[in-house]
Amino acid sequence: MSTQEFRVLGMSCGHCVNFVTDELKTLPGVVSVLVDLPTETVTITSDQALQPAAIRTAIEAAGYELADARGPREARAC
């Protein structure tokens, strides 16, 4: 089992949490996703190695951005 934590920019409400969670759960091997909205952190537990590019793609598909990707970003309008 592997656990990784990421900072995701642009989340502002429960809908944002659901979008990010749903996208990340589609990745092969993901066992659980925990999003902490106040700290903008996402913790992913998986039973296999996850490629950073796949994580970034899933987060971007949900409409958000990894903190290290391109700097600050406006919150998504829900």
Is residue 11 domain-resident?
yes
Of residues 73 and 32, which shows the higher confidence score?
32
Report the CATH number at residue 57.
3.30.70.100
Q: Can you give the pLDDT at residue 76?
A: 58
Averaged confidence pLDDT in the chain: 89
What is the count of structural domains for the chain? 1
- Cβ neighbours of residue 38 closer than 8 Å, sequence gap 6 or more: none
Q: CA distances (Å), 61 to each of 8, 18, 25, 47, 65, in order?
A: 13, 13, 12, 22, 9
> Who wins on pLDDT, 76 or 49?
49
| pLDDT band per the 50, 70, 90 thresholds, residue 71 | very low
Rounded Cα distance, 58 and 19, in Å = 10
Residue 7: inside a domain: yes
Tokens of 32: 């659980």
Is 76 a member of any domain?
no
The answer as to whether 48 is a domain residue is: yes
Residue 78 is predicted with a pLDDT of 63
Domain span at residue 33 reads: 2-68
pLDDT value at 68 more than 60: yes
